Amino acid sequence: MTSADDAHARTVLLAPDKFRGSLTAPEVVAAARAGAEELGWRVIERPMADGGEGMLDAFGGANRTSTVTGPGGTAVEARWRFGEDRVAVVESAAASGLQMAGGKEGNDPMTATSTGTGELIAEAVLAGARRVIVGLGGSAMSDGGTGAVTAVLDALDGQRPGDRGCELLAACDVQTGFADAAIVFGPQKGASSQQIVELTGRLFEIQGEYVERFGVDVSGVPGAGAAGGLGGGLVALGGELVPGLALVAGQVGLADAVAAADAVVTGEGALDAESFNGKVVGGVVDAAEPYGIPVVVVAGTVRPDAPEARLSRLHVVDLSETYGASASWDDTARCVASAVRAQLAALAP
């Protein structure tokens, strides 16, 4: 720990999630850093994610772009990362994302495909990756991962990533079962009630096919329904589903960063009950708690279901309440910087 007697020697860890629709996690970090450095605090930066969108940012950002099959079957440009450590990071949202399909209104849930995500995985394996991390989230499809599975096998001449010495990890933050993917996520992907029935029947068929083809039963695997069943498809390919937050925390060295800090700043766009259930804010708070250091949580808004028992031990700033809803949405970076500056100033000895 740095000395608490000298404000200029104090260190703050900045470990927020993205503010969806407003700022990426690195942009939140940059805004918070501006507020902290005005007071002379040293800064440790760890932009975070818990699986799905934002994974690339947490691992350092994309450094490659590939042309792959988009969710609607047409070619799209997808960004991904391949590091010097031969770890590749892929987001299903970048290749098979709902927004790429025109959102809920423009998506065809019956034909949306995970093929592009599989193509990215295969490209990473062929590039020599020793590990491929796939962020599951923000997807358009409910195809049970069949598009991705086919794309990987076709590109690798029938082999799975493990046959090439590559570990396949899928990061997710849900526990949804494989056959429940359409029931749980179908409505937000534009599926009607009848389509959800049809998609669910198709998922049960695919579940049986994975047993027949690969000897893998995904029916009891928590999280196999993530990304429309892509989670289960990756398990069939020999992959492992892991909690996204734990995966990111381990990769970026969150524990060591917390141990080196005198205070922690985290946050997200909307703070609610789920924020403390396998999400970034809860994970960062849990990591800091054993050290007894103050934790500042900056949120675009704090929803009524946010657990008061948890909030009472934290320094929480609701940007909408503090600066107004318009400013918190349209001028988020300035609000974050101001909030962090005010909170750290209050912590000064």
Q: CATH number of the domain at 122, please.
A: 3.90.1510.10
Asked if the model's pLDDT at residue 92 lies above 50, the reply is: yes
Predicted confidence band of residue 349 (pLDDT cuts 50, 70, 90): low
CA 346 from chain centre, in angstroms, equals 32
Percentage of the chain with pLDDT > 70? 97
In angstroms, the CA 102 to CA 107 distance is: 6
CB within 8 Å of 57: residues ≥ 6 apart: 18, 24, 25, 26, 47, 49
Q: What is the mean pLDDT of residues 8-28?
A: 92
Select from 246, 263, 281 the last residue of a domain.
Answer: 246
pLDDT classification of 52: cutoffs 50, 70, 90: confident
pLDDT of residue 41: 97
Residue 153, pLDDT above cutoff 90? yes
- Domain-embedded: residue 2: no
| Distance from C-alpha of 42 to C-alpha of 40, rounded to nearest angstrom | 7
Tally Cβ neighbours within 10 Å of residue 159.
Answer: 16
* 268 and 326 fall within a common domain: yes
State the chain's mean pLDDT as an integer: 95
Number of domains in the chain: 2
302/321 Cα distance (integer angstroms): 9
Would you place residue 285 in the very low, low, confident or very high pLDDT band (cuts 50, 70, 90)?
very high
State whether 199 and 228 are in the same domain: yes
Whether residues 115 and 221 share a domain: the answer is: yes
In angstroms, the Cα distances linking 204 to 111, 178, 211, 229, 233 are 17, 8, 11, 11, 13
Q: Are residues 91 and 212 in the same domain?
A: yes
Same-domain check for residues 282 and 335: yes
Query: Across-strand partners of 168?
Result: 132
User: What is the pLDDT at residue 267?
Assistant: 98
Least-confidence region, from 187-191, 204-208, 345-349: 345-349
136 and 240 together in one domain: yes
| pLDDT confidence bin for 215, thresholds 50/70/90 | very high
Q: How far apart are the first and last CA of the chain?
A: 15
Amino acid in position 185: F
59-87 pLDDT tens trace: 989 999 999 999 999 999 999 999 999 99
For 331, other C-beta atoms within 10 Å of its C-beta total 15
Same domain for 139 and 219: yes
CA distance 35 to 332: 13
Residue-level pLDDT at 2: 41
234 and 139 in one domain? yes
H helices of the chain, in order, are: 25-37, 55-58, 92-96, 103-106, 115-126, 146-155, 181-185, 193-214, 226-236, 244-252, 254-259, 280-288, 308-311, 319-323, 325-330, 332-347
Please name every residue paired with 270 in a beta bridge, in sequence order, or none if there are none. Answer: 301
Does 1 fall in a domain? no
> Domain end: 198, 226, 246, which one?
246
Q: What angle do CA 179, 149, 106 make, to 5 degrees?
A: 65
Q: Do 16 and 99 belong together in one domain?
A: no
Residue 292 lies in a domain: yes
| Residue 82 structural domain | 55-246
Helices (H) and strands (E) in the chain, counts: 16, 11
State which of 246, 267, 288 marks the end of a domain: 246
What token pair was written down for 145? 């991962």
